[in-house]
Amino acid sequence: MKDKMAVPLFALLAVCVDVSAVMFIGAIQLSPSFINNTFTLLWAGGLLRTCLLLFISFTYPGSPAWMRGFEGVQTAVIHGEMAIPHYTGKMTDWIMNEDEPEAFNHAITVMTLMTIMSAVCEFVCDLIYNITMSRIHTSIQGLVFQSVLKQEIGFFDKASTGDIVSRITTDTNTMSESLSEKLSLLMWYFMRVIFLFGSMLLLSTRLSIFTALGLPIIWIIPEFSGRFYQKLSVQVQESLAKANDVATETFSSMKTVRSFANEDGETERYRKCLEDTYALNKVEAAAYAASTWTNSMSSLALKVSILYYGGRLVTGSDVSSGDLVSFVLYELQFTSAVEVLMSYWPHVKKAVGASEKIFEYVDRKPDTPPDGSLAPQTLKGHVQFKNITFAYPKRPDTDVLKNISFELKPGQITALVGPSGSGKSTIVSLLERFYQPKKSGEILLDQNPLVKYKDQYLHEKISVVSQEPVLFARSVRENIKYGKENASDEEMRAAAKLANADDFIDSLPKGYDTDAGEKGGQVSGGQKQRIAIARALIQKPQILVLDDATSSLDTESEHRVYSALKELKSCTVLLISHRLSGVENADHIIFLREGEVAEEGNDEELRAKNGLYAEFVKQQNTSIHRNTEDVTNSVLCNFH
């Protein structure tokens, strides 16, 4: 009785050890320190599991003899269902010879136990593997997103939004799907091929060599089709990125599309992109079908040849009938495994094609200088532009700024004035360190080069509000606190009052908890600007830049904002405006023309010069006079 229970007890012990080892591997993967080494952990865990099973097989008194042989090794490495053909052959010999009933019972017992062990172990291993691959997918998607965010601003000038989004979503999905399913099976069947061929060698060397001679036919053709499939995959991903770019651009500019009634035109653009993708998908499908067909035909030819040659060996008494049955069953599993390897290989190639585009972003080094080390406790905010000559990366031969020099003094409002294209917004971009003045000159902050300051510190001390500020699809509260997430509600309200935004926010349906909508679509242009100014002021910046940030405000609101700015005694304010009401009260005015400082001084001094600034004032007054006349005439016409 004890001997009869030895094998079942061993099987139960082996299953418990196997499941425990795999669960231990899964638990270890939850540790953050192992998240970037998941593949290494999988292989190390697999080796640990194999060693434990082999250790039990050779030390446990009740382990069957076959567990200490070749079948035992393959059971420990890749589960035991592959040993079933061996015992099927034993049963065949028993049926034909009609003797050794114990051999029949032994074969049935072993096959049953190995099937149960294999099923349980395979289920647990597949579960852990797929959970691991899901974690890898999440990790890679986050890594790509983080890598893109760290790129220099010039990168976003060149790359389209649709292409970036496609790589983060579509390409990572393609890669992770192939990894989680196809690569798993690829590794699994690769190990099966090795052990199956070993089993075939033990049964018949001649038949094994004959089988091996037919393998190049199965390998060569899929290799060529795999390369072609990989190239097609890259083209398909690029085509999808173009389609995503069109969709993203259209939806983000929906008001413009609707105002020109161009919905049909945008639909046609998107349809053409989809047609290009469809054409590539048809070629890709044909390539995959051709690869699958050639794999199946070559495998079928090999099977027929083996049956013919094996039959002759049985006739010549070189192998037994049972061994031939076992060999044929092994060969069927072997060729099936090779077919799976060859059919999944193009999918892995496709994943490689997708991963090339993904890791092109991950491996890309931002074209920015190393992060500085300066982060002083106190910052005056004295900015100096010294002999700056600058051209954008897209137009390296066109200088936007030409040997320009000026300074922004603490506690003063400095206004930049000039026609469009004179370089005003470029100065803001350089101050934010979005670009570097690579041609000549340097920017100093409190007598230190701007590049020597820590990036995070710099953006905490410099706040910028643009003409078209971006609000996130969150509450007004979250948008204002975006500038300082740990700010109190008192600080938030104080910043909103300085920006003349507190009253209108309180009048919103949910006050500060009202959703601003995507890109601030639920509030007006002027309200959006005031929320953005509050977001900048909550940081209590040392340098505040208003890049035409009050263009949508009425005269009264604009006056209140500028009056509040006057109260910021220690703050350096850079004001860019096309409206005279914002400029004339500045402490210092710099007039730019074609990337050069044409005039500078205060409002009174520049008017007295009767130069470019005086002409700017005259044009502003003329424009105001015309608008007043138009309003008066409109009122009179309506009266009559």
* Per-residue model confidence as pLDDT tens digits over 442-499: 899 988 988 888 888 888 888 888 878 888 888 888 888 887 888 888 888 988 888 8
B/e letters for 579-594, b = 16+ CB within 10 Å, e = fewer, are: bbebbbbbebbbbbee
Q: Which of 98, 101, 103, 100 is nearest to 86 (CA)?
A: 103
At 113, the pLDDT band (50, 70, 90 cuts) reads: low
Which of 441 and 28 is assigned the larger pLDDT?
441
Cα 45 to chain centroid distance, Å, stands at: 28
Question: Which range has the top average pLDDT, 120-124, 357-361, 585-589?
Answer: 585-589
**319, containing H or E segment:** none
For residue 410, give both structure tokens: 């603490």
Structure tokens at 55: 């250790």
pLDDT for the residue numbered 149: 81
Mean pLDDT value of segment 341-345:
74
Strands (E), 224-279: none
- Cα(607)–Cα(584) distance, integer angstroms: 10
Distance CA 193, CA 432 (A): 59
pLDDT per residue as tens digits for the range 531-588: 888 888 888 888 888 887 777 777 777 777 777 777 777 788 888 877 777 788 788 9
Phi, psi of 617 (to 5 degrees): -65, -40
Strand ranges across the sheet with 448-449: 401-408, 383-390, 440-445, 448-449
Return the pLDDT at 169: 79
- The Cα 534–Cα 495 span in angstroms is 5
Identify which has the larger pLDDT, 640 or 189. Answer: 189
Token duo for residue 542:
């040392």
Least confident range of 55-64, 158-167, 270-279, 403-412: 55-64
Geometric angle at alpha carbon 338, from 335 and 342, rounded to 5° = 135
Q: Which residues pair with 515 in a beta bridge?
A: 475
pLDDT of residue 268: 87
* Residue 280 near residue 236, CB atoms below 8 Å: yes
* Burial of 258 per CB tally in 10 Å (0-12, 13-18, 19+): exposed
Amino acid 215: pLDDT: 73
Whole-number pLDDT of residue 340: 78
Side by side, the strands of the sheet bearing 596-601 are 462-465, 543-547, 572-576, 413-417, 588-593, 596-601
Domain 180-367 CATH class label: mainly alpha
What confidence tier does 345 reach under pLDDT thresholds 50, 70, 90?
confident
CATH number of the structural domain 383-468+540-636: 3.40.50.300
